[in-house]
Amino acid sequence: MNLTIDSIKDQTFDAIVVGSGVSGGWAAKELTEKGLRVLMLERGHALEHVTGYESATKDPWELNYAGRSTMAQREAFPQKNRNTPVNETNESYWMADKDAFYREDKPFSWYRPNIVGGKSITWGRQSYRFSDIDFEANAKEGIAIDWPIRYKDVAPWYSHVEKFAGVSGEKLNLPQLPDSEFLPPMEMFCVEKEVRKRIEKNFPGRNMTIGRTANLSKAAQAQMGVGRASCQYRNKCALGCPYGAYFSTQSCTLPPAAKTGRLTLRPDSVVKEILYDENKKQATGVRIVDSVTLENKEYYARVIFMCASTAGTTAIMLNSTSNRFPAGFGNDSGQLGHNLMDHHLRVGAAGDWEGDLDKYYIGRRANGIYVPRYRNIGNDKRDYVRGFGYQGGGSRQNWQRNVAEMSFGADYKEELTKPGPWTMGLGGFGEVLPYYENRMYLDPNQKDKWGMPIVVFDAEIRENEHKMRSEMLNDAIEMLESAGLKNVKGHNDQYALGMAIHEMGTARMGHDPKTSVLNAHNQVHEAKNVFVTDGACMTSAACVNPSLTYMAMTARAADFAVKEIKRKNL
């Protein structure tokens, strides 16, 4: 089957999936394998697996600028270069800021890919389950609204997606961080192993583990069956992996969807709005504009899965107005666009490790360590709610440590050929609460090149997060110093929402249609044939990376949708 097509004669499908990232890929796989004819619409350009990753197999000296950003790129991508620099290896993966223009009432970083596969190509791959502590927190603390589901509802779907995607890690049996279906864990470096022992001895209740990552430490039959191979330890994941060693749409979910013969993928398709039939009281399809020809087209389906990313999905829904939904599709509650969340980061500490200069490591491990949440767990009570975890790791300095040294000669050159001393760092990821005031909305008076009203962000962290950041800083310093590191320095850098690229909320799940947009099965309350399974559906953020939860939610919702179709309820 040819996945990249220029036109589609038949404009009616069983299902439409909007977006091809982590969530969209899973929706396409699950729906096609369950017998539905699926149209996947992606605003970005085609990116072929293996051959499309042009820089992934090149060495720095084969590139014009050794993989660094040029002045022209810094000028073209001023917003993205705040935190995740665009350079010559990845420029084609991202929308230029002039095309992805948005406005900030308060500082916000919005990273928009411009490729099939979306952020599944460039994501950090850290994969953690939410726990009942996370799903119950809003209800227990009287914050926002209660999740309409609990861990037991999602647990079998976590297992379902983990077995296929592949997640390496070690079991810890912690209530705040449920274990996954693990491939063998990657090995910690010598310094990390020793720091782990000392932290766990000095701070009972705190744990350090290797990161749980969607990189195949050992490919199982489920992965090899779709052409994937084990991790090659090159640490070039953000460029796309020609070996399929980490989870991406191209390597993992598109191949089985294509194999069914029931998938049609249309790139360069900017979805502008959801079409609604007031007589049928349901959505009938979507209207798009071809990003190349600027031609408008409509496509129709029995069910629609919105997987265009948190802000992308919500922008489409806000733009989908009608007599029935004057304030945006499914927005009877007035919650659409509100409760915008992310994880706050750019706070932590690092220090020097003396000794172990006779030890190194093999390969470039595409992973670090993880310290699971330990605050506000059990008897630990702080003056803020929720908690945080740390990501980080140890490494040996390279030749760049001596770039500024005033030296020359054979001895100096010889020194540059040897790795420098070990260092170790911890960087915090904290939970952001779901504040109604944190929102995104559309500016009807300013439109982008495709005719879509631009998105405006009005969101910030507040007192609870600032209190948490102080402890994230102090705890990181304290743990590293107690573990024996020297010259430990903390940092609490300027942060704005969006920098973690974990945006969530804006079309939250809930029990009551008066206070939420979606029900327990990710259906829009007022139009049950529309499902939202990307980050927009989240009712709270927890402090762990959310992509694994999007996968599980999507697979769960797809299974429900197909069953409802068979029951003739959709």
Q: What single DSSP character describes residue 120?
A: G
Q: Name the DSSP class of 192.
A: H
pTM of the model: 0.95
Q: Which pair of tokens denotes residue 359?
A: 């030890």
> From CA 351, how far away is CA 422, in angstroms rounded?
9
The C-alpha torsion from 118 through 179 and 347 to 430, rounded to 10°, is 80
- Region for residue 378 given its phi and psi (left: phi exceeds 0; alpha: psi -120 to 50; beta: otherwise): left
Residue partners of 397: CB distance under 8 A and separation at least 6: 419, 420, 421, 423
CA distances from 437 to 51, 345, 461 (A): 45, 21, 11
Residue 224: what pLDDT? 93
Separation of alpha carbons 195 and 480, rounded Å: 8
What the block records as the tokens of 312 is: 């992308």
* pLDDT of res. 286: 98
What DSSP assignment string belongs to 476-505? HHHHHHHTT-EEEEEEE----TTTTS--B-
C-alpha count within 13 angstroms, C-beta hemisphere, residue 113: 25
pLDDT at 529: 98
Calpha distance 136→151 (Å, rounded): 9
What is the torsional sign of CA 42, 45, 46, 50?
A: negative
Q: Tell me which amino acid residue 235 is.
A: N
H or E element, residue 456: strand 453-458
Chain centroid offset of residue 74 CA: 24
Neighbours of 61 (CB within 10 A): 7
DSSP state letters, 37-52 = -EEEE-SSBP--TTTT
Q: What is the pLDDT along the chain (570 residues), one digit of tens a residue?
A: 444 444 445 799 999 999 999 999 999 999 999 999 999 999 999 999 999 999 999 988 898 888 888 888 888 787 777 777 788 888 899 988 888 789 999 999 999 999 999 999 999 999 999 999 999 999 999 999 999 999 999 999 999 999 999 999 999 999 999 999 999 999 999 999 999 999 999 999 999 999 999 999 999 888 999 999 999 999 999 999 999 999 999 999 999 999 999 999 999 999 999 999 999 999 999 999 999 999 999 999 999 999 999 999 999 999 999 999 999 999 999 999 999 999 999 999 999 999 999 999 888 999 999 999 999 999 999 999 999 999 999 999 875 555 555 545 665 555 556 788 999 999 999 999 999 999 999 999 999 999 999 999 999 999 999 999 999 999 999 999 999 999 999 999 999 999 999 999 999 999 999 999 999 999 999 999 999 999 999 999 999 999 999 999 999 999 999 999 999 999
Q: What are the structural domain ranges in the chain?
A: 1-58+90-169+250-342+434-457+504-570, 173-210+343-431+461-495
Close Cβ partners of 424 (under 8 Å, ≥ 6 residues apart): 191, 192, 195, 350, 351, 353, 392, 393, 394, 395, 480, 483, 485
**Coil, helix or strand at residue 30:** helix
Please, what CATH class does the domain formed by 1-58+90-169+250-342+434-457+504-570 belong to? alpha beta
